[in-house]
Structure 1
Amino acid sequence: MIRTVLALSVLSAAPVQADVSRAVTDHILPGFAQFATHAEALSATAAADCTPAAVQPAYQAAFDAWLGVANLHIGPSETGALSIAYWPDDRAFTPRALTALIADPASRDPATFAEVSIAARGLFALDMLLYDPAFAGYAAGDATCTLVQVVSADLAAQATALDAAWRDAFAAVLTSAGAPGNATYMTGDEALRALYTQLLTGLTFDADMRLARPLGTFDQPRPRMAEAWRSGRPLRNVVLSVKAAQGLAHALTDTDLPLTDAAVARVEVAASRIDDPAFQTVTDPQARLLVDVLHQRVAAVEVAIDTEIGGALGIAAGFNALDGD
């Protein structure tokens, strides 16, 4: 069950100073630039050789870079992230959309590809094309190989556009909060609240989606609901996402965060004890226990950040927008 956290309000003057500008300059903008660089490298790799063995390493590197900024869903990322990482896909739209694109050469036109369903775009489309046996048996020159090139080029274009939108426009909106003419953030507290919300919402997503979904229940675990399980990424995605939250937490504050750092270290220890990075062995009680421990450790990072940043800055947790109630 998704916990009730977030949708925050600033309550009092904070003894610890927050620095939205530093968070933007030192953490957010470098993260989007890195993702754009790796997405462009992925596109270049696929253009040269679109077979799975050639593209997979570049795909993994691009996904790693995405995790550094994946939990930001404000500004241009509010909609931009949807077609970069369409997950979860509980109705299996992605395989159906990809099958249709492979069958129709006209639909693979790079000039119009941005208009296709978001289920056929981005990292999770590539996850299926490069790793799922139903798609990944293609050879150079096949329709699927061409589709990998088109999806990769489209991902690079999305990453470049998102990087530019943050760098050239939205960064200034966040860092000029409270200035005349800024209708998005009327005060500095609003900008701080927006970033802090993203910080905790990301950790909630890690616990309640990336971990709780494949865990399911003891009697009915759901390994195929793990994120990017085909490419063996579920465990890595959790760890990288938590590390990104830690980085944003440090960028937001001007003090040490020993509780947060200790909680993240415990996440890494728990992750190191899991033998199956794809979470496909959660059907085994012992393996499931190790993933459940990781789930608890990720939840503890939220508590630590709420204590060290939320408490110190006078920010209280309310309702998570993901609750839907």
Structure 2
Amino acid sequence: MRYSLMLCACLAASPAMAGIEEALTDHILPGFAGFSTAADALAVTAEADCSPDALRAPWNAAFDAWTEIGDVRMGPSETGALSVSFWPDARGFTPKTLRRLISSEEEVGTDPTAFADVSIAARGLFALEQMLYDADFDDYAPGSYACTLVQTATADLASQAQALEAGWRDGYSAVLRSAGAEGNSAFLSEQEAMTALYTQVLSSLEFTADSRLGRPLGTFERPRPTRAEAWRSGRSLRNVLLYAEAAEEMAMALSDGEMPQTEAAMQRLRDAAEKVSDPSLQDIEDPSARLRVEIVQQNVRALSGYIEQELGVPLGLTAGFNSQDGD
């Protein structure tokens, strides 16, 4: 009886470990598994039919799955995510690289194994978006080099997804779970691991506000609508919401209590997004359309603030460095 009481007391005094386990089992691990499944389905579809009409739906499903964990940039994802989601592409490397591959019909574009050594600008979700939605690329014929390139890129994406899932499931999850244990040089305490996960949440929301929304907004005098993430496929606003929802979900998993203000802030963000007229954010040169997007941006920042209040402050957490910082 005394042992049981002591055990309960120890568990109650260790909210960080509970939060780490819940973040892994409720959010991160199923998120990577879901992305792997969706990427594999995309590759299977492409093998049977490489046409944009056939691939747009499974590509969108794969992108949806990616947003669950795409902003978790630690462990296997710290570098592994770069070739899945090469954005922003400020210098237009993706179309340049794709044009070079197609015009020269480079052999590497027909070999999914060798394709892993291609520039990350030609790999992942955004290179596929260019092939499936850009008028300069999406008119390829069945059996053409471009068709094969799309099949190669989808197979490569599936391989990347499998590697990320395995890296988290079979390796890095144990590193987080053993935070503070002897021999764990990555996290010398449970608090360090908790801080690292908390940083992913706030960094995701910061990146959404500053880059996913801030880049296309530009300035009032010079908006840059084509700098919006995934604008060709019309999912710029959808990405904002899905990444924000993923950040909220991970915050809730990390928390050892209710977060009513955070939940309310997320709902206000959804409500604000419903008023945006163009989901690709291409109409923001119009002042009224711009204002609606700015209100969405304000709500993303407000959501981050409530997470700090309801998660960070009670647990004594302060966000640290994240691999997306400075983008």
- TM-score w.r.t. the length of structure 1 is 0.93
Q: State the distance in 2 between where 1:322 and 1:50 align.
A: 33
* Gap change, CA 1:137 and 1:247, over 3 Å in 2: same
Higher relative contact order (CA closer than 8 Å, sequence separation 6+): 1
Paired position in structure 2 for 1:44: 44
Q: State the distance in 2 between where 1:241 and 1:16 align.
A: 28
How many residues get paired? 311
CA drift at 1:141: 1.2
The gaps in structure 1 that reach 5 residues or longer are 1-13
Q: State the distance in 1 between where 2:172 and 2:75 align.
A: 6
Q: Which structure is larger by alpha-carbon Rg, 1 or 2?
A: 2
* Gap change, CA 1:16 and 1:275, over 3 Å in 2: farther
Residue type of the alignment partner of 2:159 = A
Paired position in structure 1 for 2:79: 79
Q: State the distance in 2 between where 1:32 and 1:305 align.
A: 23
Aligned residues of 1:126 and 1:151 also touching (Cα < 8 A) = yes
Q: State the distance in 1 between where 2:319 and 2:182 align.
A: 29
CA drift at 1:17: 2.7
Paired position in structure 1 for 2:292: 290
Pairing 1:27–2:33 present: no
Matches within 5 A, 1:10-21: 17-18=15-16, 19-21=19-21
Aligned residues of 2:35 and 2:161 also touching (Cα < 8 A) = yes
CA drift at 1:320: 7.2
Pairing 1:263–2:265 present: yes
SS in 2 for 1:288: helix
Q: State the distance in 1 between where 2:312 and 2:65 align.
A: 27
CA drift at 1:71: 0.8
* Gap change, CA 1:244 and 1:254, over 3 Å in 2: same
Aligned residues of 1:16 and 1:253 also touching (Cα < 8 A) = no
Match of 2:222 among 211, 220, 223: 220
- TM-score w.r.t. the length of structure 2 is 0.92
Paired position in structure 1 for 2:6: none
Q: State the distance in 2 between where 1:209 and 1:15 align.
A: 38
Match of 2:123 among 121, 124, 135: 121
SS in 1 for 2:256: coil
Match of 1:143 among 142, 145, 156: 145
Aligned residues of 2:128 and 2:153 also touching (Cα < 8 A) = yes
**Which one is further off, 251-260 or 116-125?**
251-260
Q: State the distance in 2 between where 1:100 and 1:121 align.
A: 14
CA drift at 1:214: 0.4
Paired position in structure 2 for 1:158: 160
Q: State the distance in 2 between where 1:214 and 1:268 align.
A: 19
* Gap change, CA 1:211 and 1:124, over 3 Å in 2: same
Matches within 5 A, 1:39-118: 39-102=39-102, 103-108=104-109, 109-118=111-120
* Gap change, CA 1:105 and 1:224, over 3 Å in 2: same
Q: State the distance in 2 between where 1:16 and 1:221 align.
A: 48
CA drift at 1:100: 1.4
* Cα shift readout 1:271-319 (whole Å, capped 9, x = no counterpart): 1111211000011111111000000000000100000001111123577
Residue type of the alignment partner of 1:153 = A
* Gap change, CA 1:36 and 1:305, over 3 Å in 2: same
Pairing 1:189–2:191 present: yes
Q: State the distance in 1 between where 2:202 and 2:69 align.
A: 13
Q: State the distance in 1 between where 2:114 and 2:246 align.
A: 33
* Cα shift readout 1:242-286 (whole Å, capped 9, x = no counterpart): 000111011101211001101100110011111211000011111
Q: State the distance in 2 between where 1:319 and 1:161 align.
A: 24
Identical-residue share of aligned pairs (%): 54
Match of 2:241 among 229, 239, 242: 239
Aligned residues of 1:260 and 1:301 also touching (Cα < 8 A) = yes
CA drift at 1:110: 2.0
Paired position in structure 2 for 1:278: 280
Q: State the distance in 1 between where 2:180 and 2:322 align.
A: 25
Matches within 5 A, 1:197-208: 197-208=199-210
SS in 1 for 2:15: coil
CA drift at 1:164: 0.4
Aligned residues of 2:262 and 2:303 also touching (Cα < 8 A) = yes
Q: State the distance in 2 between where 1:286 and 1:319 align.
A: 36
SS in 2 for 1:229: coil
